Amino acid sequence: MNTQISTTSVQQMSTKEIAVLTGKLLGDIHRDVKRMIIELSDDGIIHHEQYQEVKDNRNYTKEFLLDKELTTILISGYSISIRAKIVRRLNELETAPAKAILPYHMRRYLANVSNVPRGYFSDLTLFASVI
């Protein structure tokens, strides 16, 4: 069986990081993001792959993860110094090597691979030898 796992990932910036860089309140950033998403959705400009809404166990928005385009659109209304900070951080994210995020069960298996009896999970063992 040939299984390939893609290690490419879209660089995203969290609203928490935007709040820290801009000095704005996280709630204000979330308000701006929600308004932006509604407006862009109405115009058919935005795609759901461009952002991710992370919620807590109470179903409140914990943070948004925005791609470069949406981050740039969001900050375009902010002051020049704030835009400069965000653009610098986006450039850092682009030049940083992409990290492959393995599913939880794979991370757990790799952490305990020495305790797994020989012959069990042959596909995972094969995958672990490739990594």
- Distance, in Å, from the CA atom of 123 to the CA atom of 11, rounded to the nearest integer, reads 29
Q: Are 121 and 109 in contact (CB under 8 A)?
A: yes
Instruction: Answer yes or no: is pLDDT of 8 > 50.
Output: no
pLDDT at 93: 82
Query: What is the residue-averaged pLDDT of the chain?
Result: 78
Of 79 and 8, the one with more pLDDT: 79
Instruction: Answer yes or no: is pLDDT of 123 > 60.
Output: no
- Do 117 and 56 lie in a common domain? no
Longest dimension (CA), the chain: 60
Q: Which residue range is the domain that position 111 belongs to?
A: 100-131
Q: How many CA atoms lie within 13 A of 49 on its CB side?
A: 2
Confirm whether 55 is domain-assigned. Answer: yes
- Do 90 and 104 lie in a common domain? no
Most confident option among 76-80, 87-91, 109-113:
87-91
pLDDT at 69: 87
Give 50's contacts (C-beta < 8 A, 6+ positions apart): 66, 67, 69, 70
- Do 19 and 60 lie in a common domain? yes
- Do 121 and 76 lie in a common domain? no
Q: How many domains does the chain have?
A: 2
pTM above 0.85, yes or no: no
pLDDT at 102: 67
pLDDT at 26: 93
- Distance, in Å, from the CA atom of 75 to the CA atom of 82, rounded to the nearest integer, reads 8
- Residues 17-76 pLDDT 10s: 999 988 899 999 999 999 988 888 887 777 778 889 999 899 999 999 998 888 988 888
